[in-house]
Structure 1
Amino acid sequence: MGSMDRSKKRIQLWKKALIHFALCFVMGFFTGFAPTSPVSLFSTSSGGWITVKPAAYAAADKIADPGVANRSLMVELPPAAANPNPASTGEKKEEDKAGSKRQLIVVTTTRSGDRMQEALLRRLADTLKLVPSPLLWIVVQARADVAATAAMLRKTGVVYRHLAFKENFTDAAAEADHQRNVALNHIEHHRLSGIVHFAGVSNIYDLQFFREIRQIEVFGTWKVAMVSANRKRVVVDGPVCNASSVVGWHSKDFSSDKVGSSNVISTAEMKVKPPPKINVSGFAFNSSILWDPERWGRATSVPDTSQDSVKFVQEVILEDETKLKGLPADCSKIMMWHLHIPRSMYLPFH
């Protein structure tokens, strides 16, 4: 009896071993067909960090060349919460909707070849970072200055395009005109649709200025205060408005020896005797007028002056003042100050 019991126990052990072996074989066989990467099984997993573009820059980034757009716009953000706040989600959608309706602002700056250039560009970049997108900053420089500025521009956090020219200039005004014309040619060639503003790197802005110029349909203008600390001089010039309609132009000198002295001329007088000099920083325009003038009521048969920034502005002013919109509505507020900074200054600590 004892020997029979022992043989039965051995048979049962072998059966259990065979069953375990068969189960392991089957499991191993089917496991071989399963995907080896857990990511492919759970592609919507919220674990880890992801690289995204900030929504605020999405609209402006579309118009920037991949090789030129600022790489600092690519940032790492933590994954969204599993149960987001419905109220905040709704607000975000409203912000995205408002951002998609905003016009692109194309800001181009002029200044080259002096020790203050990089510091002034950094200061202007800090201002432009505060402007809601979309905004594109076009920086035009002589080829010799490009390398030193490129590294700084990549760190600004502003969407930009960096253009270079090879011509040499001895006259600063001629160089500034050429820089603006290079920017206009780039805007026209790539058909960058938006509002173009010629900015000086030494300009100081009220942020309301950028909200206002987005309301421009064809051409806009505003008052500019020109400040010179060394000469203790402040001159304000710009449009005289009836609501948002431009009816004239004035220049008022607030210098200590000329308090309140001003010169006012009507738009009709300007057509008879155009001013010898126009501050192009006091104007902005819809860029589509460069490649589609008929849309805005301008003849295509007239000589092309779109690549001469000063003549282009002066031509539109004299052509039809009804195309001009004064900003803000009554032209009563100064939103931009131009600080006169000489290209060469004596620095006693050097």
Structure 2
Amino acid sequence: MASIRRTLSPYNDRSYPNGSSNPFSVQSPSQKLLSHGRTTFSPVRRFITGIFLQKHYSRKSNQFSWKKSLIRCFLFFFLGFLLGMAPFNNDFNELKQDDLRNRDFSFEMKPAVVNVEKNVGDIGFVEKPKENDLMVDAVELGVVERRDRNEIKRILDFLPRKQLIVVTPTYNRALQAYYLNRLGQVLRLVRPPVLWIVVEMNAASMETAEILRNMGIMYRHLVCMKNSTDVKDRGVHQRNTAIEHIERHRLDGIVYFADDDNIYSLELFESIREISRFGTWPVGMLAQSKNKAILEGPVCNGSQVIGWHTNEKSKRLRRFHVDMSGFAFNSTILWDPKRWHRPTSDPIRQLDTVKEGFQETTFIEQIVEDERQMEGIPPGCYRIMNWHLHIESRELLYPKGWMLQKNLHVVTPSN
């Protein structure tokens, strides 16, 4: 067989036209990149170029470097993992199609379609929404009841209730604590706002103040400083003290004179909130002989006052036959005369110079001109909502102090 032997070139020592002894001394493009990388490339580009163009052989020996290959393999795997996790394609396509700077954002709430299922007895049916029902025209606050497919709409009433200003004159006597507690317990059941003005003569007693503090309602404890020796009717001056307080502080509400020894119903206090200017109603009371009950107050045709109930001949000359606990009025009449077109701006007060029993009619004449400016409560004036009972005896002994644990030996006679 023929054999071919490759002999060494006899031109080892020969020089080449390019002036180097290395036949492969012509610089390749990669070598040119490496030679110019230090001066022209940025640090990032030098790093990438060094990874791809670095030799796989160590400088010290011509052996293959496994350590550097593993590092490069791990680096490429990590870069590929990051590129795979980033959704570049979809985001770039959306950015190309719609520019975020020119995009209009709208927040729109569309009502969801709900199937309402109702059961009537043992038969069930489903109401499907109609096309027109999907449109929401307006939103209105209210309570809607559905009964037998008939919608009854009740709009909530957010109007505030009128304040009640209850004026009570009181004085030290045997049953004072009982009367104040009884009236206070009734006022606690009345829906607020309620202001209880309690007026005493000469000085405020600690016992009355304690009752008011423990009652749990809003109150004001006043003192009438009128000289008791010149007083003909104590209650007149005590009420005038409360009227002056309302006028000075411009309290807005319905004023009602409620004596502590009368009996009142809750319906009365709820009814007088509807008074515009002046309201009146019939009052049941015992006659002086205490053997029969009489009625005193208005005769009404609906809410219009057309007459008066009276049974006493001595009081027939009165203009208005009303008991002190049988009327109420708007407090703005006291301190805002222009609103009610009063002919004079003189202060409204109860008079102590008139005969007993005429304080009511002389006071009402300062508030209204005639029955046309009155309101009958309730409509028709057919119900008695409070009683004026003269059952307290003047011969009762007043025990020392309000607590009776130490005064059990005291005997109080009764008629």
TM-score (ref. length: structure 1): 0.61
Q: Given residue 137 of structure 1, which amino acid in structure 2 is its aligned partner?
A: W
Cα distance in 1, alignment partners of residues 393 and 202 from structure 2: 19
Instruction: For residues 42-81 of structure 1, give each alpha carbon's deviation from its aligned partner in whole angstroms, at most 9, with x where no partner exists.
Output: xxxxxxxxxxxxxxxxxxxxxxxxxxxxxxxxxxxxxxxx
Which residue of structure 1 aligns with residue 37 of structure 2? none
Q: Are 2:207 and 1:136 aligned?
A: no
Q: Which residue of 2 aligns with 1:297?
A: 341
Corresponding residue of 1:316: 367
Q: Which has more helix, going by share of residues?
A: 1
TM-align CA RMSD: 2.9
Question: Which structure is higher in RCO with an 8 Å CA cutoff and minimum separation 6?
Answer: 1
**2:297–2:321: 8 Å Cα contact kept in structure 1?**
no
Deviations 1:3-28 (A, max 9, x none): xxxxxxxxxxxxxxxxxxxxxxxxxx
Match of 2:388 among 330, 338, 348: 338
**Corresponding residue for 1:54?**
none
2:327 matched residue in structure 1: 283
Partner AA of 1:238 in structure 2: G
Which residue matches 2:44?
Answer: none
Show CA shifts across 1:140-165 (max 9, x none): 00233422211111001111000012
- Give 1:325's match in structure 2, choosing from 351, 361, 375: 375
**Which one-letter code corresponds to 2:278 in the other structure?**
F
Residue 255 of structure 2 is aligned to residue 196 of structure 1: yes
- Cα deviation, 1:88-109, whole Å, max 9, x if unaligned, reads xx9xxxxxx8585210000001
Q: Which amino acid aligns with 1:111?
A: T
Asked if structure 2 preserves the Cα contact closer than 8 Å seen for 1:251 and 1:263, the reply is: no
Q: Name the CA distance, whole Å, in 2 between partners of 1:241 and 1:111.
A: 32
Q: Give the match's secondary structure for 1:209.
A: helix
The answer as to whether partners of 1:184 and 1:307 remain within 8 angstroms in 2 is no
Q: How does 1:30-179 map to 2 (within 5 A)?
A: 101-169=160-228, 174-179=233-238
Gaps in structure 2 of 5+ consecutive residues: 1-142, 144-155, 352-358, 398-409
Letter in 1 for 2:392: P
Return the letter of the residue paired with 1:242: N
1:196–1:284 contact (8 Å) kept in structure 2: yes
Q: Which residue of 1 aligns with 2:129?
A: none
Cα contact 1:223–1:333 (8 A) shared by 2: yes
Q: CA deviation at 1:339?
A: 1.7
Distance 1:277 1:174 in 2: 19
- Comparing 160-169 with 121-130, greater Cα deviation is found at 160-169
Distance 1:172 1:300 in 2: 27
Q: For 2:370, give the aligned amino acid.
A: D
- Give 2:297's aligned residue: 238
Name stretches of at least 5 consecutive residues in structure 1 with no aligned partner: 1-89, 91-96, 254-261, 266-272
Contact 2:170 2:200 in 1 (8 A): yes
In the alignment, the residues of structure 1 paired with residue 231 and residue 261 of structure 2 have an alpha-carbon distance, to the nearest angstrom, of 15
- What amino acid does structure 2 have at the position aligned with 1:304? P
Q: What code does the residue aligned with 2:176 have?
A: Q
Residues 99 and 134 of structure 1 are in contact (CA less than 8 Å); yes or no, is this contact kept in structure 2? Answer: no
Structure 1 residues 222 and 99: alpha-carbon distance in aligned structure 2, compared to 1, 3 A threshold: farther
> Does the aligned pair in 2 maintain the 1:131–1:210 contact within 8 Å?
yes
Is the 8 Å Cα contact of residues 107 and 197 (structure 1) preserved in structure 2? Answer: yes
* Contact in 2 for aligned 1:185/1:307 (Cα 8 Å): no
Q: Is the 8 A contact 2:265 2:386 kept in 1?
A: yes
Single out whichever of 133-142 and 105-114 deviates more from structure 2: 105-114
Cross-structure match for 2:411: 349
More strand as a share of residues: 1
Tell which structure's C-alpha radius of gyration is larger. 2
2:280 to 203, 221, 225: 221
